[in-house]
Structure 1
Amino acid sequence: MDRQLIISVGREFGSGGHVIAEALAERFHLALYDSNLLEHIAQEKNIDHGELKKFDEKPKNKLLSRTVRGYSSSAQENLANMQFEYLRKKAADGESFVVVGRCAETKLKDFPGLISFFILGDREKKAERVMQVYGVSKEEAIHMMEREDWERKTYHNYYCKGKWGDSRNYDFSINSSRLGIEGTIDILEGYVKTLANVCIHAKIKEKV
Protein backbone atom coordinates (compact mmCIF):
# COMPACT_ATOMS: atom_id res chain seq x y z
CA MET A 1 0.00 0.00 0.00
CA ASP A 2 1.20 3.48 -0.85
CA ARG A 3 -0.32 5.17 2.19
CA GLN A 4 0.61 4.56 5.81
CA LEU A 5 -1.31 1.71 7.43
CA ILE A 6 -1.46 1.19 11.18
CA ILE A 7 -3.66 -1.64 12.43
CA SER A 8 -4.55 -1.57 16.11
CA VAL A 9 -5.92 -4.76 17.67
CA GLY A 10 -7.56 -4.69 21.09
CA ARG A 11 -8.71 -8.05 22.40
CA GLU A 12 -10.39 -10.03 25.12
CA PHE A 13 -8.29 -12.82 26.61
CA GLY A 14 -9.02 -16.08 24.80
CA SER A 15 -10.54 -14.41 21.73
CA GLY A 16 -7.51 -15.17 19.56
CA GLY A 17 -6.80 -11.49 19.10
CA HIS A 18 -3.04 -11.93 19.15
CA VAL A 19 -3.13 -14.69 16.53
CA ILE A 20 -5.39 -12.51 14.40
CA ALA A 21 -2.97 -9.58 14.71
CA GLU A 22 -0.06 -11.83 13.69
CA ALA A 23 -1.97 -13.01 10.63
CA LEU A 24 -2.88 -9.45 9.58
CA ALA A 25 0.76 -8.41 9.93
CA GLU A 26 1.79 -11.33 7.73
CA ARG A 27 -0.89 -10.73 5.09
CA PHE A 28 -0.07 -7.04 4.76
CA HIS A 29 3.71 -7.54 5.22
CA LEU A 30 3.86 -5.27 8.26
CA ALA A 31 5.92 -5.24 11.43
CA LEU A 32 4.09 -6.48 14.53
CA TYR A 33 4.47 -4.67 17.83
CA ASP A 34 3.31 -6.43 20.99
CA SER A 35 5.45 -7.59 23.91
CA ASN A 36 8.50 -7.28 21.63
CA LEU A 37 8.22 -3.53 22.25
CA LEU A 38 9.94 -4.27 25.55
CA GLU A 39 13.03 -5.54 23.74
CA HIS A 40 13.28 -2.36 21.65
CA ILE A 41 12.75 -0.12 24.67
CA ALA A 42 15.18 -2.09 26.83
CA GLN A 43 17.85 -1.72 24.17
CA GLU A 44 17.21 2.00 23.68
CA LYS A 45 17.07 2.82 27.39
CA ASN A 46 19.70 0.29 28.50
CA ILE A 47 17.20 -1.35 30.86
CA ASP A 48 16.92 -5.03 31.80
CA HIS A 49 14.28 -6.63 29.55
CA GLY A 50 13.24 -9.07 32.28
CA GLU A 51 12.39 -6.25 34.65
CA LEU A 52 10.20 -4.53 32.06
CA LYS A 53 8.26 -7.69 31.29
CA LYS A 54 6.79 -7.79 34.81
CA PHE A 55 5.02 -4.46 34.26
CA ASP A 56 3.83 -4.84 30.65
CA GLU A 57 0.16 -3.85 30.19
CA LYS A 58 -0.36 -3.99 33.95
CA PRO A 59 -2.55 -1.48 35.80
CA LYS A 60 -0.87 1.12 37.95
CA ASN A 61 -0.83 0.38 41.67
CA LYS A 62 -2.20 3.67 43.00
CA LEU A 63 -1.47 2.80 46.63
CA LEU A 64 2.24 2.22 46.01
CA SER A 65 2.99 5.07 43.60
CA ARG A 66 3.32 8.83 43.68
CA THR A 67 3.70 11.58 41.10
CA VAL A 68 6.02 14.45 42.01
CA ARG A 69 6.66 17.34 39.62
CA GLY A 70 5.34 15.29 36.72
CA TYR A 71 7.47 12.24 37.45
CA SER A 72 5.80 9.00 38.51
CA SER A 73 7.29 6.40 40.85
CA SER A 74 5.08 3.74 39.19
CA ALA A 75 7.04 1.29 37.04
CA GLN A 76 3.80 0.33 35.28
CA GLU A 77 3.03 3.93 34.35
CA ASN A 78 6.57 4.73 33.25
CA LEU A 79 6.68 1.65 31.01
CA ALA A 80 3.27 2.41 29.52
CA ASN A 81 4.34 5.95 28.63
CA MET A 82 7.59 4.67 27.10
CA GLN A 83 5.57 2.32 24.88
CA PHE A 84 3.14 5.06 23.86
CA GLU A 85 6.08 7.33 23.01
CA TYR A 86 7.80 4.57 21.01
CA LEU A 87 4.67 3.83 18.96
CA ARG A 88 3.95 7.50 18.29
CA LYS A 89 7.53 8.01 17.09
CA LYS A 90 7.24 5.06 14.71
CA ALA A 91 3.94 6.40 13.41
CA ALA A 92 5.32 9.94 13.06
CA ASP A 93 8.22 8.54 11.03
CA GLY A 94 5.68 7.15 8.57
CA GLU A 95 6.09 3.50 9.45
CA SER A 96 3.24 1.07 8.83
CA PHE A 97 2.69 -1.66 11.42
CA VAL A 98 0.27 -3.77 13.46
CA VAL A 99 0.09 -3.19 17.21
CA VAL A 100 -1.58 -5.36 19.83
CA GLY A 101 -3.26 -3.55 22.74
CA ARG A 102 -1.33 -0.73 24.42
CA CYS A 103 -4.16 1.78 23.96
CA ALA A 104 -3.12 2.20 20.33
CA GLU A 105 -6.64 3.01 19.11
CA THR A 106 -6.47 6.11 21.34
CA LYS A 107 -2.78 7.01 21.42
CA LEU A 108 -2.45 6.88 17.62
CA LYS A 109 -5.86 8.26 16.68
CA ASP A 110 -4.32 11.43 15.19
CA PHE A 111 -2.75 9.39 12.38
CA PRO A 112 -5.10 9.05 9.37
CA GLY A 113 -3.67 5.63 8.48
CA LEU A 114 -4.96 4.05 11.71
CA ILE A 115 -7.59 1.29 11.54
CA SER A 116 -8.67 -0.04 14.93
CA PHE A 117 -10.22 -3.41 15.72
CA PHE A 118 -11.52 -4.99 18.90
CA ILE A 119 -11.76 -8.79 19.08
CA LEU A 120 -14.22 -10.31 21.52
CA GLY A 121 -15.69 -13.78 21.88
CA ASP A 122 -18.28 -15.99 23.51
CA ARG A 123 -17.34 -17.01 27.05
CA GLU A 124 -17.52 -20.76 26.42
CA LYS A 125 -15.51 -20.57 23.20
CA LYS A 126 -12.86 -18.40 24.83
CA ALA A 127 -12.60 -20.81 27.75
CA GLU A 128 -12.15 -23.73 25.34
CA ARG A 129 -9.36 -21.89 23.57
CA VAL A 130 -7.57 -21.00 26.81
CA MET A 131 -7.85 -24.63 27.99
CA GLN A 132 -6.33 -25.83 24.73
CA VAL A 133 -3.54 -23.25 24.49
CA TYR A 134 -2.47 -23.31 28.16
CA GLY A 135 -3.40 -26.87 29.10
CA VAL A 136 -5.53 -25.84 32.08
CA SER A 137 -8.91 -26.86 33.46
CA LYS A 138 -12.08 -24.96 32.60
CA GLU A 139 -12.15 -23.41 36.06
CA GLU A 140 -8.55 -22.23 35.68
CA ALA A 141 -9.28 -20.93 32.17
CA ILE A 142 -12.19 -18.82 33.38
CA HIS A 143 -10.07 -17.48 36.23
CA MET A 144 -7.31 -16.52 33.76
CA MET A 145 -9.85 -14.82 31.47
CA GLU A 146 -11.32 -12.78 34.29
CA ARG A 147 -7.93 -11.75 35.67
CA GLU A 148 -6.36 -10.84 32.32
CA ASP A 149 -9.40 -8.91 31.11
CA TRP A 150 -9.61 -7.03 34.41
CA GLU A 151 -5.95 -6.02 34.07
CA ARG A 152 -6.38 -4.96 30.45
CA LYS A 153 -9.53 -3.01 31.22
CA THR A 154 -8.01 -1.26 34.24
CA TYR A 155 -4.79 -0.48 32.34
CA HIS A 156 -6.65 0.88 29.32
CA ASN A 157 -9.21 2.94 31.21
CA TYR A 158 -6.51 4.61 33.30
CA TYR A 159 -4.71 5.98 30.21
CA CYS A 160 -7.70 6.59 27.91
CA LYS A 161 -10.96 8.50 28.06
CA GLY A 162 -12.80 5.90 25.98
CA LYS A 163 -13.64 2.64 27.72
CA TRP A 164 -11.90 -0.63 26.87
CA GLY A 165 -14.03 -2.74 24.53
CA ASP A 166 -16.62 -0.03 23.87
CA SER A 167 -17.42 -0.43 20.16
CA ARG A 168 -17.68 3.35 19.73
CA ASN A 169 -13.92 3.63 20.25
CA TYR A 170 -12.99 1.25 17.42
CA ASP A 171 -13.56 1.13 13.68
CA PHE A 172 -14.70 -2.48 13.83
CA SER A 173 -15.57 -4.82 16.71
CA ILE A 174 -16.04 -8.50 15.90
CA ASN A 175 -16.92 -11.70 17.75
CA SER A 176 -14.29 -14.25 16.66
CA SER A 177 -16.38 -17.13 18.04
CA ARG A 178 -18.93 -16.79 15.23
CA LEU A 179 -16.69 -17.22 12.17
CA GLY A 180 -13.67 -18.75 13.87
CA ILE A 181 -10.14 -17.35 13.82
CA GLU A 182 -9.50 -17.79 10.09
CA GLY A 183 -12.91 -16.44 9.13
CA THR A 184 -12.37 -13.41 11.34
CA ILE A 185 -8.97 -12.76 9.77
CA ASP A 186 -10.51 -12.90 6.30
CA ILE A 187 -13.24 -10.41 7.26
CA LEU A 188 -10.74 -7.96 8.77
CA GLU A 189 -8.37 -8.28 5.82
CA GLY A 190 -11.25 -7.48 3.50
CA TYR A 191 -12.23 -4.50 5.64
CA VAL A 192 -8.72 -3.06 5.49
CA LYS A 193 -8.50 -3.51 1.72
CA THR A 194 -11.94 -1.99 1.15
CA LEU A 195 -11.18 0.99 3.36
CA ALA A 196 -7.85 1.51 1.60
CA ASN A 197 -9.61 1.55 -1.78
CA VAL A 198 -12.17 4.05 -0.51
CA CYS A 199 -9.37 6.36 0.64
CA ILE A 200 -7.55 6.05 -2.68
CA HIS A 201 -10.70 6.92 -4.65
CA ALA A 202 -11.38 9.85 -2.35
CA LYS A 203 -7.88 11.24 -3.02
CA ILE A 204 -8.36 10.84 -6.77
CA LYS A 205 -11.60 12.82 -6.59
CA GLU A 206 -9.85 15.56 -4.63
CA LYS A 207 -7.22 15.91 -7.34
CA VAL A 208 -9.84 15.99 -10.07
Structure 2
Amino acid sequence: MDKQIIISIGREYGSGGHEIGRKIAKLLDIPFYDRNLLDEIADAKNVDAKKLEKYDEAPSRMFLSRTVRGFSNSPSVNIAEMQFDLLREKAAAGESFVIVGRCSEDLFKEVKGLFSVFILGDYETKLDRVMERRSLSAKEAALAIERHDRNRKAYHNHFCNGKWGDSRNYDMCINSSRLGVDGTVEYLKDYVDRFIKTL
Protein backbone atom coordinates (compact mmCIF):
# COMPACT_ATOMS: atom_id res chain seq x y z
CA MET A 1 0.00 0.00 0.00
CA ASP A 2 1.45 3.34 -1.09
CA LYS A 3 -0.16 5.44 1.64
CA GLN A 4 0.01 4.59 5.31
CA ILE A 5 -3.33 3.65 6.82
CA ILE A 6 -3.89 2.65 10.43
CA ILE A 7 -7.35 1.30 11.20
CA SER A 8 -8.12 1.42 14.91
CA ILE A 9 -11.01 -0.69 16.15
CA GLY A 10 -12.55 -0.23 19.58
CA ARG A 11 -15.32 -2.68 20.38
CA GLU A 12 -17.88 -3.96 22.80
CA TYR A 13 -17.49 -7.59 23.78
CA GLY A 14 -19.58 -9.78 21.51
CA SER A 15 -19.96 -7.13 18.78
CA GLY A 16 -17.73 -9.04 16.34
CA GLY A 17 -15.08 -6.31 16.35
CA HIS A 18 -12.18 -8.75 16.27
CA GLU A 19 -13.62 -10.69 13.33
CA ILE A 20 -14.49 -7.48 11.48
CA GLY A 21 -10.96 -6.16 11.95
CA ARG A 22 -9.40 -9.41 10.78
CA LYS A 23 -11.54 -9.48 7.64
CA ILE A 24 -10.81 -5.84 6.76
CA ALA A 25 -7.07 -6.46 7.17
CA LYS A 26 -7.31 -9.45 4.84
CA LEU A 27 -9.21 -7.45 2.21
CA LEU A 28 -6.62 -4.65 2.38
CA ASP A 29 -3.73 -7.13 2.56
CA ILE A 30 -2.22 -5.45 5.62
CA PRO A 31 -1.22 -6.90 9.03
CA PHE A 32 -3.79 -7.43 11.74
CA TYR A 33 -2.77 -6.88 15.36
CA ASP A 34 -4.56 -7.89 18.49
CA ARG A 35 -3.31 -10.40 21.07
CA ASN A 36 -0.69 -11.55 18.57
CA LEU A 37 1.38 -8.53 19.64
CA LEU A 38 2.16 -10.50 22.77
CA ASP A 39 3.91 -13.14 20.66
CA GLU A 40 6.32 -10.53 19.30
CA ILE A 41 6.94 -9.14 22.77
CA ALA A 42 7.43 -12.63 24.21
CA ASP A 43 9.95 -13.47 21.47
CA ALA A 44 11.86 -10.25 22.08
CA LYS A 45 11.90 -10.75 25.85
CA ASN A 46 12.42 -14.53 25.64
CA VAL A 47 9.37 -15.32 27.78
CA ASP A 48 6.31 -17.53 27.35
CA ALA A 49 3.49 -15.57 25.65
CA LYS A 50 0.93 -17.50 27.71
CA LYS A 51 2.29 -15.85 30.86
CA LEU A 52 1.59 -12.43 29.39
CA GLU A 53 -1.97 -13.10 28.20
CA LYS A 54 -3.67 -12.61 31.55
CA TYR A 55 -2.34 -9.04 31.67
CA ASP A 56 -3.44 -8.16 28.12
CA GLU A 57 -5.85 -5.20 28.09
CA ALA A 58 -6.32 -5.74 31.82
CA PRO A 59 -7.05 -2.86 34.18
CA SER A 60 -4.33 -1.93 36.63
CA ARG A 61 -5.06 -2.59 40.30
CA MET A 62 -4.64 0.97 41.54
CA PHE A 63 -4.18 0.15 45.23
CA LEU A 64 -1.67 -2.62 44.60
CA SER A 65 0.52 -0.86 42.07
CA ARG A 66 2.76 2.17 42.13
CA THR A 67 5.00 4.05 39.75
CA VAL A 68 8.41 5.35 40.74
CA ARG A 69 10.50 7.45 38.33
CA GLY A 70 8.38 6.28 35.40
CA PHE A 71 8.61 2.57 36.25
CA SER A 72 5.56 0.64 37.38
CA ASN A 73 5.38 -2.56 39.42
CA SER A 74 2.08 -3.43 37.69
CA PRO A 75 2.44 -6.21 35.10
CA SER A 76 -0.66 -5.00 33.22
CA VAL A 77 0.76 -1.47 32.93
CA ASN A 78 4.13 -2.78 31.77
CA ILE A 79 2.55 -5.11 29.18
CA ALA A 80 0.39 -2.23 27.91
CA GLU A 81 3.39 0.09 27.59
CA MET A 82 5.38 -2.58 25.73
CA GLN A 83 2.50 -3.01 23.27
CA PHE A 84 2.20 0.76 22.82
CA ASP A 85 5.95 1.03 22.14
CA LEU A 86 5.85 -1.82 19.61
CA LEU A 87 2.89 -0.24 17.80
CA ARG A 88 4.60 3.16 17.74
CA GLU A 89 7.67 1.53 16.17
CA LYS A 90 5.54 -0.06 13.46
CA ALA A 91 3.75 3.21 12.75
CA ALA A 92 7.02 5.20 12.72
CA ALA A 93 8.39 2.72 10.16
CA GLY A 94 5.46 3.60 7.89
CA GLU A 95 3.64 0.30 8.30
CA SER A 96 -0.08 0.11 7.57
CA PHE A 97 -2.15 -2.18 9.78
CA VAL A 98 -5.42 -2.88 11.54
CA ILE A 99 -5.26 -2.81 15.33
CA VAL A 100 -7.99 -3.90 17.72
CA GLY A 101 -8.09 -2.10 21.08
CA ARG A 102 -4.81 -1.12 22.74
CA CYS A 103 -5.96 2.52 23.02
CA SER A 104 -4.99 2.87 19.36
CA GLU A 105 -7.43 5.68 18.52
CA ASP A 106 -5.62 7.77 21.16
CA LEU A 107 -2.14 6.39 20.47
CA PHE A 108 -2.22 7.40 16.79
CA LYS A 109 -4.46 10.47 16.90
CA GLU A 110 -1.72 12.57 15.25
CA VAL A 111 -1.27 10.13 12.34
CA LYS A 112 -2.82 11.50 9.17
CA GLY A 113 -3.80 8.05 7.93
CA LEU A 114 -5.66 7.01 11.08
CA PHE A 115 -9.24 5.81 10.73
CA SER A 116 -10.82 4.98 14.08
CA VAL A 117 -14.08 3.11 14.54
CA PHE A 118 -15.96 1.86 17.58
CA ILE A 119 -18.08 -1.23 17.02
CA LEU A 120 -21.08 -1.85 19.23
CA GLY A 121 -24.03 -4.19 18.97
CA ASP A 122 -27.53 -4.93 20.18
CA TYR A 123 -27.42 -6.74 23.50
CA GLU A 124 -29.33 -9.83 22.32
CA THR A 125 -27.10 -10.20 19.25
CA LYS A 126 -23.99 -9.94 21.39
CA LEU A 127 -25.41 -12.42 23.89
CA ASP A 128 -26.18 -14.94 21.14
CA ARG A 129 -22.70 -14.54 19.62
CA VAL A 130 -20.93 -15.07 22.96
CA MET A 131 -23.13 -18.05 23.82
CA GLU A 132 -22.37 -19.67 20.45
CA ARG A 133 -18.65 -18.86 20.27
CA ARG A 134 -17.86 -19.86 23.84
CA SER A 135 -20.54 -22.50 24.41
CA LEU A 136 -21.95 -20.61 27.39
CA SER A 137 -25.39 -20.36 28.92
CA ALA A 138 -27.25 -17.05 28.63
CA LYS A 139 -26.37 -16.21 32.23
CA GLU A 140 -22.68 -17.04 31.73
CA ALA A 141 -22.56 -15.06 28.48
CA ALA A 142 -24.19 -12.05 30.16
CA LEU A 143 -21.59 -12.13 32.92
CA ALA A 144 -18.79 -12.45 30.37
CA ILE A 145 -20.04 -9.42 28.43
CA GLU A 146 -20.32 -7.36 31.60
CA ARG A 147 -16.86 -8.39 32.84
CA HIS A 148 -15.03 -7.86 29.53
CA ASP A 149 -16.61 -4.48 28.84
CA ARG A 150 -15.95 -3.31 32.42
CA ASN A 151 -12.29 -4.33 32.10
CA ARG A 152 -11.89 -2.78 28.66
CA LYS A 153 -13.40 0.47 29.87
CA ALA A 154 -11.14 0.59 32.94
CA TYR A 155 -8.04 -0.26 30.87
CA HIS A 156 -8.83 2.29 28.19
CA ASN A 157 -9.76 5.09 30.55
CA HIS A 158 -6.60 4.54 32.61
CA PHE A 159 -4.33 5.22 29.62
CA CYS A 160 -6.39 7.61 27.47
CA ASN A 161 -7.73 11.13 27.79
CA GLY A 162 -10.96 10.28 25.97
CA LYS A 163 -13.49 7.83 27.37
CA TRP A 164 -14.02 4.32 26.00
CA GLY A 165 -16.97 4.19 23.61
CA ASP A 166 -17.52 7.97 23.58
CA SER A 167 -18.42 8.77 19.96
CA ARG A 168 -16.42 12.01 20.07
CA ASN A 169 -13.19 9.99 20.23
CA TYR A 170 -13.75 8.03 17.02
CA ASP A 171 -14.26 8.82 13.35
CA MET A 172 -17.22 6.47 13.32
CA CYS A 173 -19.36 4.35 15.63
CA ILE A 174 -21.28 1.51 14.03
CA ASN A 175 -23.77 -1.08 15.28
CA SER A 176 -22.68 -4.37 13.71
CA SER A 177 -26.05 -5.93 14.54
CA ARG A 178 -27.70 -3.90 11.76
CA LEU A 179 -25.71 -5.24 8.79
CA GLY A 180 -24.11 -8.29 10.40
CA VAL A 181 -20.38 -8.93 10.44
CA ASP A 182 -19.92 -9.27 6.67
CA GLY A 183 -22.18 -6.31 5.89
CA THR A 184 -20.29 -4.17 8.39
CA VAL A 185 -16.98 -5.25 6.84
CA GLU A 186 -18.24 -4.31 3.38
CA TYR A 187 -19.46 -0.92 4.59
CA LEU A 188 -16.22 -0.12 6.42
CA LYS A 189 -14.06 -1.33 3.52
CA ASP A 190 -15.88 1.08 1.19
CA TYR A 191 -15.37 3.91 3.68
CA VAL A 192 -11.65 3.10 4.06
CA ASP A 193 -11.17 2.98 0.27
CA ARG A 194 -12.71 6.45 0.03
CA PHE A 195 -10.65 7.69 2.98
CA ILE A 196 -7.38 6.47 1.44
CA LYS A 197 -8.07 8.60 -1.65
CA THR A 198 -8.09 11.72 0.54
CA LEU A 199 -4.61 11.08 1.95
Distance 2:92 2:114 in 1: 12
1:8 & 1:79 partners in 2: Cα distance? 19
- Give per-residue Cα distances to partners, 1:73-130, cap 9 Å, x unaligned: 0000000000001001100000011111000000111211111111000111100111
- What is residue 30 of structure 2 aligned with on the other side? 30
> In 2, Cα distance between the equivalents of 1:9 and 1:145?
18
Name the counterpart of 1:71.
Answer: 71
Give the Å deviation of 1:158. 0.3
Asked if residue 88 in structure 1 is aligned to residue 88 in structure 2, the reply is yes
Q: What corresponds to 1:165 in structure 2?
A: 165
- Say which is worse superposed, 27-36 or 59-68, in terms of deviation: 59-68
Trace 1:176-191 onto structure 2 (pairs within 5 A). 176-191=176-191
Q: Which has the higher contact order (CA 8 A, sep 6+)?
A: 2
Instruction: Kindly report the root-mean-square deviation, in angstroms, between the aligned alpha carbons of the 2 structures.
Output: 0.8
What does residue 108 of structure 2 align with? Answer: 108
Letter in 2 for 1:160: C
Report what 2:120 is aligned to: 120
Which of these two proteins has the greater Rg computed from alpha carbons? 1
How far residue 41 of structure 1 moved from its aligned partner, in angstroms, is 0.6
Matching of residue 99 in structure 1 with residue 99 in structure 2: yes
2:174: which partner in 1? 174
Structure 2 gap segments, 5+ residues each:
none
Shift of 1:46: 2.1
Shift of 1:193: 0.6
Show the counterpart of 1:53: 53
Q: Which runs of 4+ in 1 moved over 4 A?
A: none
Aligned to 1:149: 149
What is the CA–CA distance in structure 1 between the aligned matches of 2:129 and 2:92, rounded to whole Å?
37
2:131 is aligned to 131
2:10–2:117 CA contact under 8 A, matched in 1: yes
DSSP-derived class of the 2:155 partner: helix
- Secondary structure of residue in 2 paired with 1:141: helix
- Separation in structure 1 between the aligned mates of residue 88 and residue 198 of structure 2, nearest angstrom: 25
The question of 1:43 aligning with 2:43 is answered: yes
Structure 1: gaps of 5 or more residues: 200-208
- Tell me the distance in 1 between the aligned counterparts of 2:98 and 2:174: 17
Q: CA deviation at 1:144?
A: 0.3
- TM-score, normalised to structure 1's length? 0.94
State the distance in 1 between where 2:189 and 2:108 align.
20
- In the alignment, residue 98 of structure 1 is paired with which amino acid? V
Q: Secondary structure of the equivalent of 1:64?
A: coil
Alpha-carbon separation, structure 1, partners of 2:43 and 2:133: 30
How many residues end up aligned between the 2 structures? 199
Identity value in percent: 54
For residues 41-88 of structure 1, the C-alpha deviation after alignment (integer angstroms, 9 at most, x for no partner) is 111122331211110000001121111122100000000000001001
Q: CA deviation at 1:131?
A: 0.7
